[in-house]
């Protein structure tokens, strides 16, 4: 049975229905049982202008990253799609509107620039949609019909997802979309009868348990809901805003509230206040907003108040590259802020982990009474994957607070220096357990105290509890066949999917290569990381930042200098770039 | 002429030879080849050998795609020209794109010709002009034992050889329109007939095909004015007509091809025609001739390119290589004996 690994792009102008069409491709192929990873890019500016592109990698096997090349380009706008031509694979196919409303100049035409090895399929999207429905609004659906016919996609999959998407908008809208899809489907089937490429049909993929398409941000929002979030405080910022939008839609129905604050400082302050009072709360931001939060985050560290803060990284520093991806806030997340203010930092690497880590972050924050920072990035937040709908267990949702024993009433030491460093925490209103939460250094009874002994003791306490937290933090995941390795790659966050693909490519050649995913950035699992490093001749740490921020953090654990592979292009790592580095390391080792 | 943007319509031997001659002579010119066939330039005269299994598809191709890139020739495959405006020097594509040109060479070749009385049976007859046609034949010949060839143009003879080499039975009807554009005459007919029979081909003598019926998935029933037979496939081989429908109403003179002078010039400045689609004036014969075949086409392509750039090379060929007919002359100097 032939393996399928095809990347489909839809490209158009904002307002062409590009993102909607790309979403339907994802949904339909997911329904058909394929693995799907999708990523959209669209203008940061005003609707109605600029290029929109959706990329969907569709495979019969599991997919961890976007591919380097596109195999099928569905163009809804010739001029915009010309920029996608350099990314087309050698034997790719291009579907384009062959009967636009107006004549195109050569300088505007997509057909004028495609390489001669590319199969061109001219389908009159606009004409077909208009002829079938009286309006051209369904031209993106006519394009999808052509795609389905040419590449062996069951039209029923599309009809079902179209119905699901449009039925709430009324019968007329649904009819326009279904009829437009059918018009494109039948046209292409007949017109290109001798040029069909039924790649998807040939894969004979059998649909398993029903999956849903979720973006990283949707998974985070859903996880927060499922974890019993009561209050969300935030200030809009790309790429974190969709979390607030998601929660604004669904949280009120669960008895919670979303509050747009005046800025990020207020947001994190409110989160600390809510947790102080015993309510689960969170905020989500990106680099510039996170920078504003740091002082209050350290307040949470010092006062030992839980908080859940999501930092959706984007290109920086400062305002930087709002719609581009980067992993350059690791230092800020781990070390940002005054004083020895260690806090928990975890980083999901895929959509499923966005869900599970977010659920877990509430318990961790409560149990260890410290801010928990969930580090994602633009690519992870906005990409969609088809996953079996995650559900948090009751145990995962349980209140993580350690409340004081009744017997301590009257003699309560809020910051009791226990073996683990975790002290029982009372909530306002608990009689006999009142205390002053302060950002000043303090004694076990919460009284300000700046003596060397107290500061030494309490700093040690706050750090010790993080080491205890390691047993609850997500452990590194080793991706290997065991044995000694020539190259071990360590990565984190969204980059890990590309690392996995590169390792697969290397293994197919019989190379001794493996990978380790670091999910708990701080504190980190030193023993497990060392154990992996010991097996490897070379350690390669791959990250989307300039310096190698994870390498700076854990590189010292290896017996020799780690090799760094860094990229700051604003786009995700391609598996082939990592593969090339592996190859170079192996060749250097041989010579 | 300083050729700024030369558009070549067609992707056969004449078109490709024109493109490379242009590139050699005018390094700065922008050159675009536009072809409705979605595949790169191949040798059409080897199609019978492909069917016979003597060559592979790869053997047919002339230039790799990189060749065009290296020579800065824009190759636009699978894109069809539907109109040319000589008033504005614009080519209009089927997908509603306008391509402007400073010079134009039309080298679209020909398309299979089916005589009018047989056009009602067109769906039941296969032709052999393109690689796609050859693939259809190759597939069909896997399942059938016999083939009926109707017509008798030059391709039909090499095709017959190919089918015979596969061990299939071949029937041949030398139709009244055979040998087009060479005029059908008794002498030529009986000579070809004899040669075919010597090779084991059953030549059917008839004046008319009365009926063609699909008898089953892999057989067709044929009824002529003298005989009934059942064959696996029927091939129509009546030569080619110029593939220039898109030039209707363009103002170009078209008879049995685009009418050009001995320098391959049309009546519009900077517009030339070459290869099978051209009807070329021969000053010595004081008549027109049409070209057939790979080598002739390449030569005409080269001449068109040189003259477009300001040359004065005549396309005339040696009179010995030209069949003299009543209303048309044809250069068949390349014709190898069956």
Residue-by-residue pLDDT tens, chain A, 591 positions: 678 999 999 999 988 999 999 999 999 999 999 999 999 876 654 455 688 999 999 999 999 999 989 999 999 999 999 999 999 999 999 999 999 989 999 999 999 999 998 999 999 999 999 999 999 999 999 999 999 999 999 999 999 999 999 999 999 999 999 999 999 999 999 999 989 999 999 888 888 888 999 999 999 999 999 999 999 999 999 999 999 999 999 999 999 999 999 999 999 999 999 999 999 999 999 999 999 999 999 999 999 999 999 999 999 999 999 989 999 999 999 999 999 999 999 999 999 999 999 999 999 999 999 999 999 999 999 999 999 988 999 999 999 999 999 998 889 999 999 999 999 999 999 999 999 999 999 999 999 999 999 999 999 999 999 999 999 999 999 999 888 999 999 999 999 999 999 999 999 999 999 999 999 999 999 999 999 999 999 999 999 999 999 999 999 999 999 999 999 999 999 999 999 999 999 999 854
Q: Compute the half-sphere exposure of residue A390: CA atoms within 13 Å on the CB side of its CA.
A: 29
Q: What's the CA angle centered on A500, arms A496 and A501, to 5 degrees?
A: 120
> Do A124 and A186 lie in a common domain?
yes
Query: What order do you get walking across the sheet with B97-100 strand by strand?
Result: A104-105, B97-100, B90-93, B81-85
- Distance from the Cα of residue B157 to its chain's centroid: 15
> Do A171 and A40 lie in a common domain?
yes
- Distance from the Cα of residue A478 to its chain's centroid: 20
A98/B96 CB distance under 8 A: yes
List the single residue in B77, B95, B99 with the smallest CB-CB distance to A98. B95
pLDDT tens readout for residues B229-252:
999 999 999 888 889 999 988 999
Within the 20-59 window of chain B, which residues sit less than 8 Å (CB to CB) from chain A? 38, 40
Q: Give chain B's end-to-end CA distance (angstroms, integer).
A: 44
Q: What's the CA angle centered on A497, arms A493 and A502, to 5 degrees?
A: 130
> Do A322 and A450 lie in a common domain?
no
Parallel/antiparallel/unpaired status of strands B228-231 and B219-224: antiparallel
Contact A111, B95 (CB under 8 A): yes
Q: Which helix (H) or strand (E) holds A486?
A: strand A485-491
Under 8 Å CB-to-CB from A210, ≥6 apart: which residues?
A388
> Do A48 and A135 lie in a common domain?
yes
> Do A241 and A204 lie in a common domain?
no
Q: For position B81, what pLDDT does the model report?
A: 97
> Do A20 and A115 lie in a common domain?
yes
Distance (Å) from the alpha carbon of A187 to chain B's nearest alpha carbon: 15
Q: Which of A346, A372, A397 is the last residue of a domain?
A: A397
Name the token pair of A500.
Answer: 């996995």
> Do B23 and B105 lie in a common domain?
yes
> Do B14 and B106 lie in a common domain?
yes
Q: For position B183, what pLDDT does the model report?
A: 58
Q: For position A27, what pLDDT does the model report?
A: 96
* Selection from A367, A340, A377 nearest residue A492 by Cα: A377
Chain B positions touching A97 (Cβ under 8 A) are 95
> Do A38 and A106 lie in a common domain?
yes
A112/B99 CB distance under 8 A: yes
Q: Which CATH number fits the domain that encloses residue A231?
A: 3.40.50.970
Interchain contact B96–A (C-beta under 8 A): yes
- Cα dihedral A243→A245→A249→A255 (10° resolution): 60
Secondary structure (3-state) at B261: coil
Q: For position B282, what pLDDT does the model report?
A: 79
Q: Which CATH number fits the domain that encloses residue B170?
A: 3.50.50.60
What does each C-alpha distance from A214 to A206, A309, A489 come to in angstroms? 21, 21, 28
> Do B181 and B276 lie in a common domain?
no
Burial state string for B120-143 with b = 16 or more CB within 10 A and e = fewer than 16: ebeebbbbbbbbebbebbbebbee
Q: Which of B30, B36, B93, B96 best probes binding to A when mutated, by most A CB atoms within 10 angstroms? A: B96
Contact B84, B90 (CB under 8 A): yes
Backbone angles phi, psi at B75, to 5 degrees: -110, 115
Determine the angle formed by the axes of helices A139-151 and A171-191, rounding to 10 degrees.
40
> Do B139 and B174 lie in a common domain?
yes
Q: Which of B238, B268, B289 is the last residue of a domain?
A: B238
**Separation between Cα atoms, residue A466 and residue A472, nearest integer Å:** 10
> Do B188 and B247 lie in a common domain?
no
ipTM: 0.84
Q: For position A456, what pLDDT does the model report?
A: 98
> Do B12 and B107 lie in a common domain?
yes
Interchain contact B249–A (C-beta under 8 A): no
> Do B257 and B319 lie in a common domain?
yes
Query: Domain residues for B255?
Result: 5-111+242-331
> Do B147 and B67 lie in a common domain?
no
> Do B227 and B285 lie in a common domain?
no
Interchain contact B98–A (C-beta under 8 A): yes
Chain B positions touching A108 (Cβ under 8 A) are 97
In a domain, B336, yes or no: no
**Separation between Cα atoms, residue A305 and residue A438, nearest integer Å:** 10
**Could you count the other beta carbons within 10 Å of the beta carbon of residue A523?**
19
Burial state string for A338-349 with b = 16 or more CB within 10 A and e = fewer than 16: eeebbbbbbbbb
Per-position DSSP letters for B213-254, written without gaps between them: EEEETTEEEEEESS-EEEESEEEEE--EEE--GGGTTSS--B
B94/A122 CB distance under 8 A: yes
Overall number of domains in chain A: 4
Q: Which of A106, A124, A150, A192 best probes binding to B when mutated, by most B CB atoms within 10 angstroms? A: A106
In a domain, B337, yes or no: no
> Do A232 and A334 lie in a common domain?
yes
> Do B314 and B166 lie in a common domain?
no
The neighbouring-strand residues paired with B106 are: B9, B273
Q: Which helix (H) or strand (E) holds B49?
A: helix B47-52
> Do A492 and A364 lie in a common domain?
no
> Do A310 and A262 lie in a common domain?
yes
Q: Which CATH number fits the domain that encloses residue A558?
A: 3.40.50.920
Is B324 a residue whose pLDDT tops 70? no
> Do A296 and A383 lie in a common domain?
yes
Under 8 Å CB-to-CB from A242, ≥6 apart: which residues?
A215, A217, A218, A221, A381, A382
Chain B positions touching A106 (Cβ under 8 A) are 97-100
Secondary structure (3-state) at A371: strand
Query: Domain residues for A445?
Result: 406-472
**Separation between Cα atoms, residue A92 and residue A90, nearest integer Å:** 6
Q: Which helix (H) or strand (E) holds A365?
A: helix A351-368
**Separation between Cα atoms, residue A503 and residue A340, nearest integer Å:** 38
- Place B132 in a pLDDT band, splitting at 50, 70 and 90: very high
What does each C-alpha distance from A186 to A128, A180, B312 come to in angstroms? 10, 10, 52
Parallel/antiparallel/unpaired status of strands A536-543 and A371-377: unpaired
**Separation between Cα atoms, residue B15 and residue B62, nearest integer Å:** 13
Contact A104, A133 (CB under 8 A): no
Q: Which of B208, B238, B268 is the last residue of a domain?
A: B238
Whether residue B181 has a cis bond before it, omega within 30° of 0? yes
Overall number of domains in chain B: 2
A119/B98 CB distance under 8 A: no
Q: Which of B238, B266, B289 is the last residue of a domain?
A: B238
Chain A positions touching B99 (Cβ under 8 A) are 106, 112
Query: What order do you get walking across the sheet with A88-97 strand by strand?
Result: A119-123, A88-97, A70-75, A5-13, A51-59, A35-41, A384-387, A212-215
- Give B61's DSSP letter: B
> Do B234 and B124 lie in a common domain?
yes
> Do A199 and A341 lie in a common domain?
no
> Do B119 and B234 lie in a common domain?
yes
């Amino acid at each position: 049975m032939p393996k399928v690994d095809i990347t489909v792009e839809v490209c158009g102008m904002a307002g062409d229905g590009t993102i909607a069409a790309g979403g339907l491709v994802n949904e339909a192929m997911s329904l058909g049982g394929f693995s799907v990873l999708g990523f959209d890019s669209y203008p940061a500016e005003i609707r109605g202008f600029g290029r929109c592109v959706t990329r969907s990698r569709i495979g019969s096997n599991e997919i961890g990253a976007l591919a380097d090349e596109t195999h099928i380009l569905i163009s809804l706008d010739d001029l915009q799609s010309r920029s996608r031509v350099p990314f087309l694979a050698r034997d790719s196919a291009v579907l384009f509107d062959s009967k636009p409303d107006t004549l195109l100049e050569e300088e505007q035409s997509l057909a004028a620039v495609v390489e001669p090895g590319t199969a061109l399929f001219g389908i009159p999207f606009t004409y077909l949609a208009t002829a079938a429905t009286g309006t051209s609004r369904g031209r993106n659906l006519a394009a999808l019909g052509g795609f389905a016919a040419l590449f062996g996609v069951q039209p029923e999959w599309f009809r079902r997802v179209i119905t699901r998407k449009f039925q709430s908008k009324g019968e007329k809208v649904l009819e326009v979309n279904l009829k437009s899809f059918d018009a494109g489907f039948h046209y292409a089937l007949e017109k290109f009868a001798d040029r069909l490429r039924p790649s998807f049909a040939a894969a004979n993929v059998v649909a398993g348990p029903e999956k849903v398409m979720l973006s990283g941000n949707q998974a985070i929002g859903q996880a927060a809901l499922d974890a019993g979030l009561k209050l969300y405080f935030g200030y809009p910022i790309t790429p974190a805003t969709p979390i607030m939008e998601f929660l604004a839609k669904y949280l009120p129905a669960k008895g919670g509230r979303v509050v747009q604050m005046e800025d990020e400082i207020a947001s994190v302050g409110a989160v600390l206040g809510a947790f102080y009072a015993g309510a689960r709360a969170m905020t989500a931001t990106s680099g510039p907003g996170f920078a504003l939060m740091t002082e209050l985050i350290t307040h949470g560290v010092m006062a030992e108040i839980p908080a859940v803060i999501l930092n959706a990284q984007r290109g920086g520093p400062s305002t930087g590259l709002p719609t581009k991806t980067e992993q350059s806030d690791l230092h800020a997340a781990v070390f940002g802020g005054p004083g020895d203010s260690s806090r928990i930092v975890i980083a999901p690497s895929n959509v499923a982990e966005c869900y599970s880590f977010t659920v877990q972050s509430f318990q961790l924050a409560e149990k260890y009474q410290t801010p928990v920072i969930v580090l994602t990035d633009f690519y992870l937040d906005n990409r969609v994957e088809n996953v079996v709908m995650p559900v948090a267990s009751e145990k995962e949702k349980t209140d993580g607070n350690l409340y004081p024993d009744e017997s301590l009433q009257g003699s309560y030491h809020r910051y009791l220096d226990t073996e683990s460093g975790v002290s029982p925490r009372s909530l306002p209103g608990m009689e006999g357990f009142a205390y002053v939460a302060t950002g000043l250094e303090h004694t076990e009874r919460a009284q300000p105290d700046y003596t060397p002994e107290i500061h030494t003791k309490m700093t040690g306490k706050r750090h010790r509890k993080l080491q205890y937290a390691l047993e609850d933090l997500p452990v590194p995941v080793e991706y290997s066949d065991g044995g000694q390795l020539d190259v071990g790659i360590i990565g984190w966050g969204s980059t890990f999917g590309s690392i996995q693909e590169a390792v697969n490519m290397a293994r197919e050649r019989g190379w001794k290569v493996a990978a380790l995913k670091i999910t708990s950035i701080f504190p980190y699992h030193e023993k497990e990381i060392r154990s992996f490093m010991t097996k490897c001749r070379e350690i390669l740490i791959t990250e989307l930042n300039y310096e190698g921020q994870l390498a700076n953090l854990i590189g010292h654990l290896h017996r020799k200098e780690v090799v760094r592979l860094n990229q700051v292009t604003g786009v995700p790592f391609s598996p082939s770039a990592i593969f090339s580095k592996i190859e170079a390391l192996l060749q250097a080792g041989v010579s | 002429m300083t050729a700024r943007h030369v558009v070549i319509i067609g992707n056969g031997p004449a078109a490709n030879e024109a493109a490379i001659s242009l590139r050699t002579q005018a390094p700065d010119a922008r050159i675009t080849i536009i072809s409705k066939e979605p595949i790169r330039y191949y040798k059409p005269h080897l199609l019978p050998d492909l069917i016979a299994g003597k060559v592979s598809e790869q053997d047919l191709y002339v230039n790799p795609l990189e060749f065009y890139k290296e020579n800065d020739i824009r190759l636009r495959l699978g894109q069809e020209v539907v109109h040319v405006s000589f008033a504005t020097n614009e080519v209009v594509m089927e997908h509603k794109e306008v391509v402007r040109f400073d010079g134009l060479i039309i080298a679209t070749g020909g398309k299979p010709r089916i005589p009018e009385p047989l056009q009602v049976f067109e769906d039941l007859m296969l032709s052999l002009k393109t690689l796609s046609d050859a693939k259809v034949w190759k597939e069909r010949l896997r399942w059938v034992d016999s083939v009926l060839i109707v017509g008798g143009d030059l391709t039909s003879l090499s095709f017959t050889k190919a089918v015979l080499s596969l061990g299939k039975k071949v029937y041949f009807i030398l139709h009244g329109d055979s040998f087009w554009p060479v005029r059908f005459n008794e002498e030529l007919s009986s000579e070809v007939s004899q040669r075919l029979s010597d090779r084991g081909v059953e030549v059917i003598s008839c004046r008319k095909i009365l009926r063609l019926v699909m008898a089953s998935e892999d057989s067709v029933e044929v009824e002529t004015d003298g005989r009934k037979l059942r064959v696996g496939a029927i091939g129509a081989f009546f030569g080619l007509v110029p593939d220039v429908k898109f030039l209707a109403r363009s103002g170009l003179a078209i008879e049995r091809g685009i009418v050009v002078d001995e320098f391959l010039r049309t009546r519009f400045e900077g517009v030339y025609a070459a290869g099978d689609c051209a009807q070329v004036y021969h000053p010595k014969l004081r008549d027109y001739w049409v070209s057939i075949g790979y080598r002739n086409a390449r030569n005409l392509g080269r001449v068109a390119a040189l003259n477009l750039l300001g040359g004065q090379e005549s396309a005339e060929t040696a009179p010995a290589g030209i069949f003299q007919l009543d209303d048309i002359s044809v250069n068949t100097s390349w014709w190898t004996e069956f």
